[in-house]
Amino acid sequence: MNIVGIGQCGCNIAKCFEQYPQYKIYYINTEKMESKNFFHFERQVSHENYEGSCPDMSGFFKDIKGEVIFFMSSSGAISGSSLRILEQFSGVEVTVALIIPDLVGLGKIQKLQNRAVSGVLQEYARSGLLKKIMLISSLNVEEIIPDMTLMNKYDKINETISYTLHMINIFHNQKPVFSTKHSDLQHATISTVGIYDFEKNIDKMFFSLDNCKEVGYYISIPEKTLETDISLNKDLKEKMNSKEDVGDVSYSVYPSEYEHVLGFAVYKTFFVQE
């Protein structure tokens, strides 16, 4: 899988994937970075200027095959070039992971940029020009993380986002020991992800998705528990049945070498989010 980061926010998250061998990482930024897969975008004075001066990147993307996750912030000025950049991908499926900052800390122009970029990219996903868009609120992720300081805040947020998406990708490409079927709504291309606390049966969503229509849970359970716990099947059914108010629910169970249950989820809708 290919990871592309644009702007400082997108590049910082993309860099977290370097620890995993399954990904090829690409960076697009105004600040120079030490990477052979780096494209230097000349700094511009405004959101509109970034759109109007977007260079030809087709050569930079020529070796990209298969699936792409495109990380970017919704409020950065460089996001103005995002549509022009996305148009230059050829023959690949692109998922945009749109990081939405805490709006309280944004100025008026940044809020307008956030609203415009978020709305347009969601419509791109609805029309099929993107495989999907994944909305991630930095504020939501921040509230999930314990023991965070002002100094390590953004590192922790980026690590949590990258780790969660990596684990979902791992499970998606593994055969579960048990799974249920879901409707797989192809037109539900607006999404988010989250961490599922199995013991407390609590969802910690990375974006508060309105009108959720489909949820897929990935639950990793210690192998010994799978082999010996006779109440597990009933417990799983009861917990998943309690989730039916959030849409069509499916779940997959995987064996784990860890001592604790790990849970992750993907949430989908076809409604544009404000």
Domain boundaries, the chain: 2-167, 187-269
Alpha-carbon distance of 251 to 264, in angstroms, equals 10
For range 132-156, the mean pLDDT: 95
Backbone angles phi, psi at 227, to 5 degrees: -85, -25
The pLDDT confidence band at residue 186, using thresholds 50, 70 and 90, is confident
pLDDT bin (cut points 50, 70, 90) of residue 181 is: confident
What value does the mean pLDDT take over residues 1-26? 97
Question: Which CATH number applies to 187-269?
Answer: 3.30.1330.20
pLDDT beyond 80 at 185: no
Query: Is pLDDT of 30 > 90?
Result: yes
Q: What confidence tier does 247 reach under pLDDT thresholds 50, 70, 90?
A: confident
- Three-class DSSP category at 64: coil
Calculate mean pLDDT across residues 205-214. Answer: 95
Angle between the N-to-C axes of helices 7-16 and 153-172, in degrees from 0 to 180, rounded to the nearest 10? 60
Q: Identify the band that residue 90 occupies on the pLDDT scale cut at 50, 70 and 90.
A: confident
Architecture of the domain whose range is 2-167: 3-Layer(aba) Sandwich (3.40)
One DSSP character per residue, 184-226 reads --TT--EEEEEEEETTTTEEEESS--TT--EEEEEEEEEHHHH
Question: What share of the chain has pLDDT > 70, as a percent?
Answer: 99
